[in-house]
Amino acid sequence: MATKASKQPIQKVEPARSMNPFDDMERMFENFFSRGLLHPLNMDWAKLPKEATAFQGKTPSVDVIDRDKEIIVKAELPGVEKDDLDISVTQNTVTIKGTTSHEEKEEDGNFYHCEMSHGSYSRTLSLPAEVDDAKANAKFKNGVLKLTLPKLKTSNRTTVKVD
């Protein structure tokens, strides 16, 4: 004679947690800043205009391309205007500074709304070779900066065969 198995609810099993202490520390910081003492400072970045979030919590992407006779530096600087860029070059470094500012006002009768945001960015890069800083060339289009820096000494490249 068959007996009926008692119907027990199915228990959900949580996925195994990472044993990485850095993940735990990051989670603790996220919890502290989102619910902790600094909660009033926790802004909703998604509601800000794109110009305000250009440099929010990260540095723009920068590529350094080493060619035989020159070094090319490309930097993505969203929300930055050409006049708000400051670029300085030495024989072995490049410093890129940019600022953003945005102001939005809306008035309608007794209603007045104003949002202002400002951001800044500064980054100094070490170059892989010495460059002729007097012959540096900069172009800025659609938020992308392209620096062409001629080398003082051309580099000889050799091909290495992999066995």
Q: What is the pLDDT of residue 39?
A: 46
Please name which of 52, 23, 33 lies closest in space to residue 116, comparing C-alpha atoms: 52
Q: What are phi and psi of 33, to 5 degrees?
A: -75, -25
Residue 114 domain flag: yes
Query: What percent helix, strand, coil does the chain show, rounded to 5?
Result: 15, 40, 45
What single letter denotes the amino acid at residue 53?
A: T
Domain residues for the domain of 127 are 45-150
SS3 153: coil
Residue 157 domain flag: no
Q: What is the pLDDT of residue 37?
A: 47
Residue 6 domain flag: no
Q: What is the pLDDT of residue 98?
A: 87
CA distances from 38 to 25, 48, 53, 160 (A): 17, 19, 20, 55
Q: How many CB atoms lie within 10 A of CB 70?
A: 19
DSSP run (H or E) holding 24: helix 21-35
Q: What is the pLDDT of residue 144?
A: 93
Q: What is the pLDDT of residue 51?
A: 46
Q: pLDDT tens for the chain, 163 residues: list them.
A: 555 555 667 666 555 555 566 666 777 666 665 554 444 444 444 444 454 444 444 577 899 999 989 999 999 988 888 999 999 999 899 999 988 888 888 888 888 888 888 888 888 899 999 999 899 999 999 889 999 999 998 767 788 999 8
**Domains contained in the chain, number:** 1
